[in-house]
Structure 1
Amino acid sequence: MAASIGKRIKNFGQLMLQHKSMSIGVTIITIALLIAIFAYVLAPDNSTNANRMIPEIGSKPPGFSIQLLKLPLHKTNEKTSGFINGLKFFLNGKTDRFNYIPITAYTTRNGQLYAQKYVGDGVEQPIQFPLNQLPQQFITKATFYLGTDTFGRDILSRLLIGTRISLAVGLIAVVISLTIGILLGLMAGYFGGKTDAAIMWLINVIWSIPTILLVFAVTLVLGKGFWQVFIAVGLTMWVNVARMVRGQTMAVKQLDYITAAKVLGYSNSRILLKHVLPNIAAPVMVIAANNFAGAIVIEAGLSFLGIGIQPPQPSWGLMMKENYNFIITHQPALALAPGIAIMLLVVGFNLLGNGLSDILNVPGSVRIGN
């Protein structure tokens, strides 16, 4: 059995190419991963959290374009190496050094800049600044390909950077749920008796509580915030893993090679880690993909309700909350864009899980979507 699974995994790349829907899922996930890694490089607004607010251009439709006047905010005396600056930018973007003022027209004369400040559609206000107080390139043109939110922030930039939140939540939730679920499931299935009864009692109690209520409880205990959401989601998703691992372990421990390992005097920990766990890895991989998709949806729901990721961090669920009222008005794209992003990423992980289920011959009970 172990050799059979190892052979399937060895030919994984070839099998994946033959499984079209799985290839689509892997492609979606790969694109999302690359976007998450290079988010601040790709984002038009590469300020920290893409939180550059320009209230005058709030709630503009996709494709809106305007000239921006750059006014220096402050000078930094921070002295760090180019590598450190590059790493900070790669991880957290950069702090804006300018205040951006939307303008419709400008001219310069006698050392002064005269401009028409954009206040609203058809409304302008004259302004002027000494040229010696402006940077060398004091005018830039900005195009907001997906429009702006109510605070005048670029939707596209926040959408790109929000990919990090969704993938991070999924990853950490899966790690937590697999760690707890595999540990308790192995113990319950292998040792049986009172150990199994105690663990199954805990599983049934957790199972009986609606997931969203359990997340609420964990969030209220841990508080609202970035890492708290990751932990809360992870702590509510281990039950499925534990139930599946328990059942698989109960079946595997009856096989001859487990009996032989016991006769040879191998310790229980060695049998579990080197003989049982590798042979239940296939369904664990499938349920991990399922949990990844579920974690993304739960985090989006929590953020939409206001108890998940907190502003100004760009969570897709939070973006939907901030712009959902535009769905029934003339700018539905402001809320639909993050919703479509959530849908695509969840579909990608569902397709990956279904493909793994087919390739690794996992029983249909753990196949995602069936």
Structure 2
Amino acid sequence: MDQNSGSLSQIVFKKLRKSPIGLISFSIILLAALVTIFAYFIATDKTANANRQDLAIAYAPIGHKQLTLEIPLPNYTATKSVNDYFFGKEIDSEHISISSYKINSNTLQYIPYLGNGLNGETITLPLSHWTDYSLEIKDIESKFIFNKTYLLGTDSYGRDFYSRLVIGTRISFLIGFIAVFISIFVGITLGALAGYYKGNIDNIIMWFINVIWSIPTLLLVIAITLAIGKGFWQIFIAVGLTMWVEVARVVRGQFLSYREKEFVEAARALGFNDYNIIFKQIMPNIIAPVIVISAANFASAILVESGLSFLGIGAQPPTPSWGNIIKEHYAHIILDKQHLAILPGLAIMILVLGFNIFGNTLRDLMDIKN
């Protein structure tokens, strides 16, 4: 039996297992996908966008440990909903950095930490701040006073940098996923129509493709963003609407080739309609090159979004994005705390490199000559 028998996915998977660099790149992509889904499980700051601020410990070093007092706010809830686990919990308590504390019968006294080794004056709080929420006094010291560790230190607002970096993975990964989905939908539709029907339809679509192709991608994304507004979903749509051109050109070329094949002529002779021929006869044969282009577009989308966020047009604060994290801290590359700008830049580089290598690996694996 031919060792290459089986479906396309089975053949590709068998070949992929023999490619170390392909497995590494696929592992990077898979890891990014898992971090995207379970970001708030991994992050140490479970609040939405990891936006809990404490200016007293701004620019804390890597591995900094800080004694912290948690005080419930009026909207405090002890439990978490399913939504909180995947999208972060609304800030319902205040975290205060302290140097020391003392619990009396009805009050709690603490000395606030002001940063740079400085301490404030003693502050006294009634224990009712906790007991009003059906919390027992014995639980205050065990659950609401703790040493908080900042694995990668804090940023300029005293936010947990590790958590911001982890949650920022979502923007970069989702921008690639959604932009590629939009580009595939638009590109395949226009490319299939142009290649299958030819004639005036082909001429009109190719004219439109050439016009879009002539506009620099970044400028086109900026123009679309300014037209539909800034925001989370707007930037996804804007990037997706600029990445379909290459897909359309490749699909058009494939359709021009396949529309003259014997099996297509046979389908016409049997009375199959155009929809059946396009989507059920020709489309399955052009999936391989589309998948390869999609992997490359994933990488391009990540770079475009990072550039836009750096310019302030992409995801808007406090939503963490690798691009706007770099924007906030790029000056530290030549000053101090270089990791605040280098780590998100390194994350972008690794993820983009992973998609580029995986795309090249897929191109080789799907080559029927190999």
Tell me the equivalent position of 2:144: 138
Give, as a single letter, the amino acid of the residue that structure 2 aligns with 1:240: E
Structure 2 segments unaligned to the other structure (5+ residues):
131-139
Query: For 1:28-177, what aligned pairs fall within 5 Å after superposition?
Result: 28-76=28-76, 85-109=80-104, 111-135=106-130, 136=140, 137-177=143-183
Amino acid at match of 2:211: V
Give, in whole Å, the separation in 2 of the partners of 1:5 and 1:359: 14
Preserved contact between residue 69 and residue 100 of structure 1 (Cα < 8 Å): yes
Displacement after TM superposition at 1:362 (Å): 7.4
Q: State whether structure 2 residue 235 is matched by structure 1 residue 214.
A: no
What RMSD in Å do the two structures reach over aligned CA positions? 2.0
* Closer/same/farther in 2, CA of residues 237 and 22 from structure 1, 3 Å limit: same
Tell me the SS of whatever aligns to 1:116.
strand
Higher relative contact order (CA 8 A, sep 6+): 1
1:183-215 C-alpha deviation (Å, 9 max, x unpaired) = 111111111111111011000000000001100
> Secondary structure of 2:121's partner?
strand
Residue 8 of structure 1: how far off its partner (Å)? 3.1
Correspondent of 2:234 among 220, 228, 246 = 228
1:287 partner letter: I
SS at match of 1:11: helix
Could you say which residue in structure 1 is the equivalent of 2:134?
none
In 1, Cα distance between the equivalents of 2:144 and 2:209? 62
Provide, for residues 69-91 of structure 1, a one-character-per-residue CA deviation record: whole Å limited to 9, x for no partner.
Answer: 1122214589xxx8xx5321123
SS in 1 for 2:272: coil
Map 1:1-370 onto structure 2 (within 5 A).
7-76=7-76, 85-109=80-104, 111-135=106-130, 136=140, 137-361=143-367
1:356–1:170 CA distance, 2 compared to 1 (3 A): same
Q: Which amino acid aligns with 2:84?
A: F
Q: Is contact 2:77-2:92 (8 Å) kept?
A: no
TM-score after normalising by structure 1: 0.91
Q: Secondary structure at the match of 1:18?
A: coil
> Any idea what the Cα deviations from partners look like across 1:15-59, whole Å, max 9, x if unmatched?
211111111111111111111111111110000111101111112
Q: Cα–Cα, structure 1 residues 77 and 62, in superposed 2: closer, same or farther, change >3 Å?
A: closer
SS at match of 1:301: helix
Query: 1:5 touches 1:279 (CA, 8 Å); kept in 2?
Result: no
The TM-score with structure 2 as length reference comes to 0.91
Contiguous gaps of at least 5 residues in structure 1: 364-370
Residue identity in the other structure for 2:10:
K
Which piece of structure 1 moves more, 43-52 or 65-74? 65-74
Percent identity of equivalent pairs: 46
Q: CA deviation at 1:5?
A: 9.4
